[in-house]
């Protein structure tokens, strides 16, 4: 089975966010595989272990993003493709990313039976690229899955629908996006890390792909980036716990007016 995983390198979720010159400051930040994409990588490797085949991991990002691909390879992915869109500068949004991924898959002849993505990235949080890519490739998609079974060309998934679970059947080829709860991603083993260094990695730039720069340019634009206002220190109640409970309930009604 040929399995593709699209992943993004993101800030670690424990990072604090600061702004410099109107943009998110990346200096000194720890980068990781987007946690939802990590579920996708783990599920891809599990599929390969069951059915055989090859796992290709694809990312779009600057040089540092190679580390995310190497981590995925250390977990068990076989090869990687990194596309650097530096030439586009700020002209990148979800429309761009989906177009570039689709072009990469087509032009690099990346055969696939199934494509896995995280359902969203923890930085931009837009949850767009998976469904957009599926549409461009003219295959169905199922988002926010928490269980995946493939038998022959039959696909069965459990999909999280805001707390409820839908049991869905479909057929390969398909794109699925991973929700939390799909699996527990493995840690790369030491031999895995050693092997990953030698696994094949293809580096592409925009010029390597047959794309019209104007057509793929971002359709949307960020005009301001800002931090939420800092919260004032709250009120810590004191006294007997029963009195505190009484006081809190009164405060929520008369001061905060939420009850």
Partner 1 sequence: MSKNVLVLADVREQKLRNVSFEALAAARMVAEGGQITAAVFGSFAKDLVDPLAHYGADRVITVLNPELDQYTTDAYFQAFKKVIEHVQPDVILTGHTAVGRDVSPRVAARLGTGLISDCTNVELVNGQIVFTRPIYAGKAFVKKVVKDGIVFATLRPNNIAAGEPDGNRTAQVEELQVDFAPDSLRTLVKDIVKKSAGGVDLSEARIIVSGGRGVKSAEGFKPLQELADVLGGAVGASRGACDSGYCDYALQIGQTGKVVTPDLYIACGISGAIQHLAGMSNSKVIVAINKDPEAPIFQVADYGIVGDLFEVVPLLTEEFKKLLASG
Site for partner 1 in 71-100 (CB under 8 A): 93-95, 98
Identify which of 19, 28, 16, 42 has the alpha carbon closest to the alpha carbon of residue 116: 42
Q: Which of 27, 151, 164, 212 binds partner 1 (CB under 8 A)?
A: 164
Strand 23-24 and strand 19-20: pairing? Answer: antiparallel
CB of 238 to partner 1, least distance (A): 8
**The only residue of 107, 169, 205, 213 in contact with partner 1, by rule CB under 8 A:** 169
Q: Which one of 63, 86, 166, 213 is in contact with partner 1 (CB under 8 A)?
A: 166
Among 6, 7, 11, 114, contact with partner 1 (rule: CB under 8 A): 11
Q: What is the DSSP string of 55-92?
A: EEEEEES-GGGHHHHHHHHHHT--EEEEEE-GGGTT--
- Of 59, 45, 74, 55, the C-alpha closest to 6 is 59
Query: What DSSP character marks residue 122?
Result: T
Q: Are 27 and 78 in contact (CB under 8 A)?
A: no
Shortest reach from residue 52's CB to partner 1, in Å: 25
Minimum CB distance to partner 1, residue 157 (Å): 9
Closest CA to 177 of 58, 1, 5, 3: 5
The CB-of-221 to partner 1 minimum distance in angstroms stands at 5
Among 153, 168, 187, 203, binds partner 1 (CB under 8 A): 168
Q: Is the dihedral of CA 52, 53, 58, 64 positive or negative?
A: positive
Contacts of 174 (CB under 8 A, 6+ apart): 114, 115, 134, 139, 140, 141, 142, 155
Interaction between residue 2 and partner 1 (CB under 8 A): no
Task: Pick from 40, 103, 142, 150 the residue near partner 1 by CB under 8 A.
Answer: 142
Collapsing DSSP states into helix, strand and coil, what is residue 174?
Answer: strand
* Nearer of residues 69 and 98 to partner 1, judged by Cβ: 98
Q: Which residues from 15-74 bind partner 1, rule CB under 8 A?
A: 15-17, 19, 24, 35-36
Which of 53/140 has CB closer to partner 1?
140
CB-nearer residue toward partner 1: 36 or 112: 36
Closest approach, Cβ 198 to partner 1, in A, equals: 32
Looking only at residues 206 through 245 of this chain, which bind partner 1 when binding is defined by CB under 8 A? 218-228, 231, 233-237, 241-242, 244-245
Distances (CA, A) of 62 to 31, 70, 82, 134: 12, 14, 8, 24
Going by the DSSP 8-state scheme, the letter that residue 172 receives in this structure is: S
Question: How many residues make contact with partner 1 (CB under 8 A)?
Answer: 80
Give the total residue count for the chain.
259
Nearest approach, Cβ of residue 34 and partner 1 (Å) = 9
Q: Which stretch binds partner 1 (CB under 8 A): 14-22, 60-68, 81-89, 205-213?
A: 14-22
């Amino acid at each position: 089975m040929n399995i593709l995983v699209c992943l993004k390198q993101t800030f670690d979720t424990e990072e604090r966010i600061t702004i410099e010159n109107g943009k998110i400051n990346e200096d000194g930040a720890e980068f990781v595989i987007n946690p939802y994409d990590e579920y996708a990588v783990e599920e891809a490797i599990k599929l390969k272990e069951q059915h055989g085949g090859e796992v290709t991991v694809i990312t779009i990002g600057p040089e540092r993003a190679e580390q995310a691909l190497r981590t995925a390879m250390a977990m068990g992915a076989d090869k990687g493709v990194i596309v650097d869109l530096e030439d586009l500068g700020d002209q990148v949004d979800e429309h761009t990313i989906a177009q570039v991924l689709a072009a990469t898959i087509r032009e690099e002849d990346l055969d696939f039976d199934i494509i896995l993505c995280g359902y969203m990235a923890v930085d931009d949080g837009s949850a767009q690229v998976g469904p957009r890519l599926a549409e461009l490739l003219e295959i169905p998609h199922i988002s926010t899955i928490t269980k995946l079974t493939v038998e022959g060309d039959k696909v069965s998934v459990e999909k999280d629908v805001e707390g409820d679970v839908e049991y869905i059947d479909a057929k390969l080829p398909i794109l699925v996006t991973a929700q939390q709860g799909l699996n527990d991603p493995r840690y790369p083993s030491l031999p895995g890390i050693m092997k990953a260094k030698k696994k094949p990695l293809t580096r592409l730039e925009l010029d390597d792909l047959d794309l019209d720069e104007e057509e793929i340019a971002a359709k949307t634009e960020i005009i301001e980036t800002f931090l939420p206002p800092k919260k004032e220190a709250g009120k810590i109640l004191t006294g007997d716990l029963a009195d505190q409970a009484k006081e809190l309930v009164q405060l929520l009604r008369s001061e905060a007016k939420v009850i």
